[in-house]
Amino acid sequence: MILKPEEISSVIKKELEKYKTDIHMESTGRVLQIGDAIAKVYGLDDVMMGEVVEFPHEIFGMVFNLEEDSVGVIIFGVENPDHEIKEGDIVKRTGKVLEVPCGEELIGRVVGPIGNPIDDKGPINAKKFRKIEELSPSIVDREPVCEPLETGIKAIDAVIPIGKGQRELIIGDRQTGKTSIALDTIINQKGKNVYCIYVAIGQKLLSIVNVHETLKKHGAMDYTTIISASSRTTASSQYIAPFVGCSIAESLMYEGKDVLVVLDDLTKHAQSYRQLSLLMRRSPGREAYPGDVFYLHSRLLERGAKLKKELGAGSITILPIIETQAGDITSYIPTNVISITDGQIYLEADIFHSGVRPAINVGLSVSRVGSKAQTKAMRQVAGKLRLDIAQYRELESFIQFGADLDKISQKQIKRGEVMVEILKQGQFEPLDLSKQIFIIFCGINGILDDFNTDLIKIFEKELFKFLDDNAETIILQKEINTKKELSDNLKQKMLNILEHFKKGFLDKYASNNKTNQI
């Protein structure tokens, strides 16, 4: 049998056509070192900064450090990654940066540092995902902050107002009521179409459970998401949690919604970043923090914004919390964050221990947005409030030396005592706008100047009960809450109602033989 060359070539061509190959290429490396939830990996020469990489057992990490012959990877999602990963394990590139689930599916849920559900309510069927690091809205895309975000706390809404899109720092020593102010603000958003995200960074697990129970008790979990990066989690989880919170908030903001983000607290966030940086052998700076710790918080807080109408007019209001040591607001991290934010609410331990709650130091607290973030009605009644309290504080320190005061100074002292008593407020008792205006209106118009301070809180409680039980005052409250402005006619109505109520209040206490308290 003679084979022709053309027949052989045709057979070979047919066989080659039948042969199919599927070449799959992967970029891999190997673990050189593992410890403290940080892996040093060799061989990933073409990996991106911030890229997600995969370890065995479906454990994931993020590239945090690029070195000459290796990369540093922070590991998250596992409680003890050091036990699961060993030297020599293969590490694969994914070609993706870290994304987290976003959207309304997360509202009412408690999630972990990377958006994984931890509340036993089943999986989160999110339709959207968003990168944890996004550029903040440009100046062109923003509008001035001018719409109030009401906290329900008299001392804040009247003196240090917060607007939608603002970054207002809450700062003070431990156990001075910082978290309480944030929770009161969240509770007060009920029925106001403001979504809330509470990010717990390095807090005790029991504290986070208490926060959840408090919000649930007041019906606030219906519009709130809790992101838990407790003290049990690794430093990498605590580092990443606030960025995840801002990503979830941004997805809602770009849908035209208003969002409030509480970061509790950034002191522990900075400490977790310092820990990661030192383990990665980055150069330490002041107080052993890396040189870019300012940039860490600035790129996080700059994501708070009020978008213009063409982009949906959504907003992110951020309330970062910073813990000070012995009232020192001049240390490294507090001064950094103060310079980034649009004002601060300073809580002082001495004021707290004297029984004034919330323990706000009006002199050191400031809102750089100011009265633009107040309703006109609040501006009308609270315009002189800061001045009255500041003068009172000055005279109070002056009389400690036993100096005699003239009648005008005595009157200022009495007015200051009344206003300080009025601004006291119980925990988890936020007030709506009309009630705040009524009680502050009493103070600035001298209605309570002849009262003993012990009776002012009783008067306030009785007044609020009267306002809610009387048909005329219910209509008046609705008018204030709707119009958010006090006309001369409305002021006169309020004055008549308050004078009438005061007379009845004094008669009631006189009949109870309590006139000696007035």
- Residues marked active site are found at 368
Q: Is 505 left (phi over 0), alpha (psi -120 to 50) or beta?
A: alpha
Sign of CA dihedral 188, 194, 195, 196: negative
CA distance 222 to 218: 10
Structure tokens at 395: 């005279």
Q: Please report which helix (H) or strand (E) contains residue 72, including its range.
A: strand 71-76
Which pair of tokens denotes residue 418?
A: 């009344």
Cis amide leading into 148 (omega within 30): no
Contact call for residues 223 and 196 (beta carbons, < 8 A): yes
- With tokens 């030192």, the residue in question is 278
Query: How many Å is the Cα radius of gyration of the chain?
Result: 30
Peptide bond into 265 cis (omega under 30): yes
Q: What is the DSSP string of 338-349?
A: HHHSSEEEEE-H
Return d(Cα 237, Cα 214) in angstroms, integer: 24
The number of beta carbons lying within 10 Å of the beta carbon of residue 82 is 15
Instruction: Give the separation between CA 240 and CA 229, rounded to whole angstroms.
Output: 9
Task: Say if CB 103 and CB 127 are below 8 A apart.
Answer: yes
SS3 for 452?
coil
Choose among 474, 452, 456, 454: nearest CA to 465: 474
Alpha helix segments (H runs only) across 432-515: 433-444, 453-469, 471-483, 488-511
Q: Beta-carbon neighbour count of residue 490 at 10 Å?
A: 16
CA–CA separation, 154 and 378 (whole Å): 10
Extended strands (E) in 277-380: 305-306, 315-323, 343-347, 366-367
First to last CA, the chain: 129
CA dist., res. 247 & res. 227, Å (int): 12
Q: Is residue 223 classed exposed, middle or buried when 0-12, 13-18 and 19+ CB atoms within 10 A define those classes?
A: buried
Is 181 in contact with 345 (CB distance < 8 Å)?
Answer: yes
Are the CB atoms for 197 and 249 separated by under 8 Å? yes
Rounded CA-CA distance 320/212 in Å is: 19
Tally helices (H) and strands (E) across the chain.
17, 17
